[in-house]
Amino acid sequence: MRRESATTHKHGRLRVLMLAGLLSLCAAASRADEGAGGYADLVGRVLPSVVNISVRKAVPAAGGSETRDSGGVVVGSGFIIDPAGYVVTNRHVVVDSYSITVGLSDGTRLVAHVVGHPPATDIALLKVDPDHPLPAVQFGDSEKIRVGERVLAIGNPLGLGGTVTAGIVSALNRDTADTPYDNYIQTDAAINHGNSGGPLFNMRGEVIGVTSAIFSPTAGSAGLGMVLPADDAKFAVTELREFGRVRPGWIGARLQQVTPDLSDAFGVTTTRGALVAAIQKSSPAEAAGLRVGDIISKFADRTPTDVRSLMRMIAESPLNSETILTVHRGDSDMKVPITVREYPPAMMVADFPFELSKPPTESGDLGLRLQPLGASTRARLQLPADTQGVEVASVPPGSAADRAGLRTGDVVLQVLGSVVATPSDVQKGLQGAHGRGRAESGLLIVDSSGQRWVALSTSAEQAR
């Protein structure tokens, strides 16, 4: 009886497990059906807010300043953010246009005018004048996006209109080198030409990004779509609506990424934050006492992951507000109060030139020939008369200097924070870094592109 009871009990457990498994499969199927229905329900809610955009652009006529029609219509996408008729799209869709038409999902076509399309970001804000309130969507919080999250893209690929594709967030913080602020979301949702300016939705129906670019060997979708994050788009749109232009914050410091070599050269243990490469005269950075060679590790209570994230923090900071920078200088950290000002409009380009302040004054072996800074090089690089430095006369191929990116005609301004005026200053500075056990030494150089830091091995051959 005990054996039979045990067998009966075992069979009973098997039946219970089989039933539980069947119920689990049914639940999974139900969730799959619900997910499929969820896509359809979501699309039904947001599709009326997505628009097609048709643009006619002018191009220079041959031999003169007159313009003519480019010979065709450029198509793009957009989405409504306000029932009054405000539409978001990409700057590259509408720049240089003389005619913009917005097509609604019900077939209505409206003429649009440009509220603004700032050059520092690929966002444009349009305005149409509807005779009734339009369905609008809301921006979500792109800071909360996670890799692997499901997303939907809706747009006007190849002019077909109203096309929905699904995928996931493939990666975050992609740098396409378009601007110093790049922070693209990568998605595998199918995106093609004509999707530009369209929304990327999360599963709550919030816009988490604006479709901006594709990477593809064939000019078609290869599953590598780049999307401008909603937070960056929101900042630009809010500024355009309120002021008619974008007013990014500015501190007047040229910043660069702390690479592993530079972190070793400056004696820090992290590559987070940003290294100060130049200070603009009469800027907030100069007024605050920020120095070339400082490493900014915090902006207020936020820790930037890289130089681009710090630049976005500065750009989107409230104007004329004081904040605290945490700065590594020498062997210690310090707090530097600084007031964020509006970026001077005349300087608002991706990599603006600097009028160099005289840097503060610290210096090994370069593996290259040096010479005093000549007048022709000073004039070529537009260096102020009081700028001290040493000119690179030649760079042996394959040397440490060559590997570091130094080139003939570059000017060395500092070695590890110390101003150099003669070749021997450079030698002494690098020998000092080597004597302190540092494998790399940081050199502040200036070339035709501006100031930047390079990391140079201190075990290379003697500079001459």
What is the structure's pLDDT at 147? 95
Is residue 117 annotated as a catalytic residue, yes or no? no
Q: 369's torsion region: left (phi>0), alpha (psi -120 to 50) or beta? A: beta
Within-domain flag for 361: no
| CATH code, domain carrying 270 | 2.30.42.10
Whether 281 and 334 share a structural domain: yes
What CATH number did the domain enclosing 211 receive?
A: 2.40.10.10
Say yes or no: 384 and 406 in one domain: yes
Identify whether the C-beta of residue 305 lies closer than 8 Å to the C-beta of residue 268. Answer: no
Q: Which residues of the chain have pLDDT under 50?
A: 1-12, 14-20, 22-23, 25-34, 36, 349-366, 460-464
**Length of the chain counted residue by residue:** 464
Distance CA 281, CA 14 (A): 80
Q: Are residues 327 and 277 in the same domain?
A: yes
115 and 147 housed in the same domain = no
Q: Which amino acid is at 59?
A: V
Query: CA 38 to CA 89: how far, in whole Å?
Result: 26
> What confidence tens digit (pLDDT) does each residue in 25-65 have?
444 444 444 454 568 999 999 999 999 999 988 666 555 55
Tell me, yes or no, whether 117 and 203 share the same domain: no
CA dihedral (352, 355, 359, 364) positive or negative:
positive
Domain of residue 335: give its range: 249-347
Quick one: tokens of 195? 């999707």
Residues 268 and 214 in one domain: no
What are the b/e assignments for 223-259, b being 16+ CB within 10 Å? ebbbbbbbbbbbbbbebbeeeeebbbbbbbbbbbbbe
Quote the pLDDT of residue 23: 44
3-class secondary-structure state, position 146: coil
Catalytic residue among 97, 142, 196, 363: 196
The reply to whether 64 falls in a domain is yes
End position of a domain, from candidates 243, 270, 293: 243
Q: Could you tell me if residue 363 is inside a domain?
A: no
pTM to 2 decimal places: 0.67
- Beta bridge pairs of residue 54: 75, 101
Q: Give ∠ CA 234-236-238 in degrees, rounded to 5.
A: 65
Report if residue 397 sits inside a domain: yes
* Domain stops at, among 243, 275, 309: 243
In a domain, 30, yes or no: no
pLDDT at 42: 93
At 446, which amino acid appears? V
Q: Does residue 92 carry a catalytic annotation?
A: yes
Last residue of a domain, one of 228, 243, 258: 243
Same domain for 389 and 342, yes or no, is no
What is the domain count for the chain?
A: 4
Q: Of 49, 54, 122, 261, which is the active-site residue?
A: 122
Residue 151 lies in a domain: yes
Please tell me which residue in 54, 92, 188, 264 is annotated as part of the active site: 92
123 and 173 share one domain: no
The string of DSSP letters for 162-207 reads SEEEEEEEEEEEE--SSSTT--EEEE-S---TT-TT-EEE-TTS-E
Spatial separation of the C-alpha atoms in residues 207 and 197, rounded to whole Å: 12
* Residues 234 and 276 placed together within one structural domain of the fold: no
Q: Judge if 238 and 260 occupy the same domain.
A: no
- What does DSSP assign to residue 357? P
At residue 60, the pLDDT reads 62
Whether 42 maps to a domain, the answer reads no
Residue 25 in any domain: the answer is no
Helix, strand or coil, per DSSP, at residue 86 = strand
What does the alpha-carbon distance between residue 303 and residue 313 come to, in Å, rounded to a whole number? Answer: 10
HSE of 365, CA atoms in CB hemisphere, 13 A: 13
Same domain, 235 and 254: no
Query: Which residues face 52 on adjacent strands?
Result: 77, 103
| 237 & 253 share domain | no
Tens of pLDDT, residue by residue over 95-152, are 888 889 999 999 999 999 999 888 878 999 999 999 999 999 999 998 899 999 999 9
Q: How many angstroms separate the first and last alpha carbons of the chain?
A: 100
Q: Which residue is it, tokens 């969820």? A: 38
